[in-house]
Amino acid sequence: MLISKRERRPEYASGQAEMYKFIKDNLRYPTDGSCVVGNVYVNFCVEADGSITNIKVLKGLCKSCDAEAIRVISIMPKWLPSLEYGTKKPVKGYVTIPWYAH
């Protein structure tokens, strides 16, 4: 559900820089040689309790990279949920996961 009037958008609790550090620290590069350099675009729902559900790859690189992107998003700590008029609401979130040559 997209909210048009928000008091706060959903956000990673310790900020965007820490979110990308979490991704970098937890991302496991597949060893099957199938991955290329690029980005995996992922969307998901940040629920009212801050949990992440309904993780989907919008634009991927390869099956291994896409599966790993979903795994990393699924193990993230809870986010700060969106607030609309003081009420926590579920909304869609988006993350771009960069893949570099290894």
| 97, amino acid identity | I
User: For position 86, what pLDDT does the model report?
Assistant: 85
| Secondary element (H or E) of residue 45 | strand 38-46
Q: What's the whole-number mean pLDDT along residues 77-83?
A: 94
- If one counts every other C-beta atom within 10 angstroms of the C-beta of residue 23, the result is 18
- If one counts every other C-beta atom within 10 angstroms of the C-beta of residue 53, the result is 10
d(CA 92, CA 28): 25
pLDDT bin (cut points 50, 70, 90) of residue 84 is confident
Q: List the one residue out of 53, 43, 47, 44 whose CA is nearest residue 88.
A: 47
Q: What is the pTM of this model?
A: 0.86
pLDDT: is 56 or 61 the higher one? 56
User: For position 85, what pLDDT does the model report?
Assistant: 85
- If one counts every other C-beta atom within 10 angstroms of the C-beta of residue 81, the result is 22
Q: Which two three-digit tokens encode residue 34?
A: 């199938």
Give how far Cα 46 sits from Cα of 12, 14, 76, 81, Å: 10, 15, 11, 6
Q: What's the whole-number mean pLDDT along residues 73-82?
A: 96
User: For position 101, what pLDDT does the model report?
Assistant: 65
Domains and CATH numbers, the chain: 11-99 (3.30.1150)
Render pLDDT for 15-56 as a digit per residue (tens, 0 to 9). Answer: 999 999 999 999 998 777 666 789 999 999 999 999 999 999
